Amino acid sequence: MNLKITEEKNYSELTLDGELDAASSLQVDTVINELLKKKVFTLLINCQKLEYISSAGLGVFISHREHLKNQKGGFVFFGMNEKVKNIFEIVGLDKIMSIKSTRDEGVTLIETIVKQK
């Protein structure tokens, strides 16, 4: 798993490249915790190169969801392939997480979230 963090004015974009499994989920969790320490509560998750996500990978996002929500932030995912999107749908995360098709749609939603703070 390769990770890239791009810090924008009102949010950070986390680009996931590869497979998010039990081993790499610890890396992603550490990155998210570091962003939270910097008071970054709105995260755009770029899934365009994410090939697979395991239950451990899903758990990382689930475990931080409530804290981000309490800070009037959250995750916005975009660019999921059908395999990854199906995993989110099977476990019902598509109902509680924001998933957009394109980066532009994701950024638009992020901007809306930030304005509501």
Which tens digits make up the pLDDT trace of 55-65? 999 999 999 99
Question: Does residue 67 lie in a domain region?
Answer: yes
Task: Specify the pLDDT at position 114.
Answer: 86
How many CB atoms neighbour CB 75 within 10 A? 22
CA distance 66 to 41: 11
- Percent of the chain past pLDDT 90, that is, above it, reads 94
Q: What is the DSSP letter of 56?
A: H
Q: What are the pLDDT digits (tens) for 40-57?
A: 999 999 999 999 999 999
Question: Does residue 66 lie in a domain region?
Answer: yes
Question: Does residue 64 lie in a domain region?
Answer: yes
Owning domain of residue 103: 2-110
Question: Does residue 75 lie in a domain region?
Answer: yes
Question: Does residue 50 lie in a domain region?
Answer: yes
Question: Does residue 31 lie in a domain region?
Answer: yes
Total count of domains within the chain: 1
How many CB atoms neighbour CB 90 within 10 A? 9
CATH assignment of the domain containing 30: 3.30.750.24
Q: What is the DSSP letter of 91?
A: T
Q: What are the pLDDT digits (tens) for 13-40?
A: 999 999 999 999 999 999 999 999 999 9
